[in-house]
Structure 1
């Protein structure tokens, strides 16, 4: 098939951010870039993000032995004061993890599925 790369691992980053409902895309991008650059705010981690991180890890373990259906490309998923960033495989095995994380985030009131269900590219 044209354009298809065989045997190459593909992944994407999924960030669950502790943000106000009124946050816009620029604010989300700034928070994400700050977090992945290693610049973290001081303080206690946001309870919503920690809960989403912990529940995701319990449902989809991030410690060996990893099954072939593990959604994680690298482990453990990282959690900071206001984000949880997960490196997710781009595969069928990640679909269940994405749905579960989105549902958890919505229930806990944080992105990507937080109040108002905000998604930013």
Structure 2
């Protein structure tokens, strides 16, 4: 069993509907925004995969149900194992999202999480 989490490079007011619409655009590919990479997303992805690789040989032992992760100029979408092996990855995702001022969207629970950095 698996579930998805999306880390989104949103700016301005963040709500569930805006996050859902952004995720839909990211998944559709056809009407996704073009432009320069969001440096926050780049940094998030690089740091996350340093801890939890999404390319072989280590990808098979990690929390991911699908690799490589779905990345774009403004998002990282992760299909994760619905098991304890994902707990450390979720903790790291939240930590890195807070560090890089990103939004975490959980489409299963239709929930937006705006992590707050630890001081």
Same fold (TM over 0.5): yes
Q: Larger relative CO (CA 8 A, sep 6+): 1 or 2? A: 2
Instruction: Give the structure with the higher percent helix.
Output: 2
8 A contact 1:77–1:85 mirrored in 2: yes
How far apart, CA to CA, are the structure 2 residues paired with 1:115 and 1:74?
A: 23
Alignment root-mean-square deviation, CA: 2.3
Query: Structure 2: 5+ residue runs without aligned partners?
Result: 106-111
- Say how many residue pairs are matched: 109
Query: Structure 1: 5+ residue runs without aligned partners?
Result: 1-9
Q: Which residue of 2 aligns with 1:103?
A: 95
1:78-99 CA-partner distances (Å, limit 9, x unpaired): 2112111111111100000000
How far apart, CA to CA, are the structure 2 residues paired with 1:48 and 1:110?
A: 7
Of 82, 87, 95, 1:90 maps to: 82
Q: 1:67 to 1:81 in 2, by over 3 A?
A: closer
- What is the TM-score with the length of structure 1 in the denominator? 0.80
- What is the TM-score with the length of structure 2 in the denominator? 0.81
Instruction: Give the structure with the higher percent strand.
Output: 2
After superposing on structure 2, the runs of 4+ consecutive aligned residues of structure 1 that deviate more than 2 Å are: 65-69, 113-118
Q: Which residue of 2 aligns with 1:17?
A: 8
Structure (1 or 2) with the larger CA radius of gyration = 1
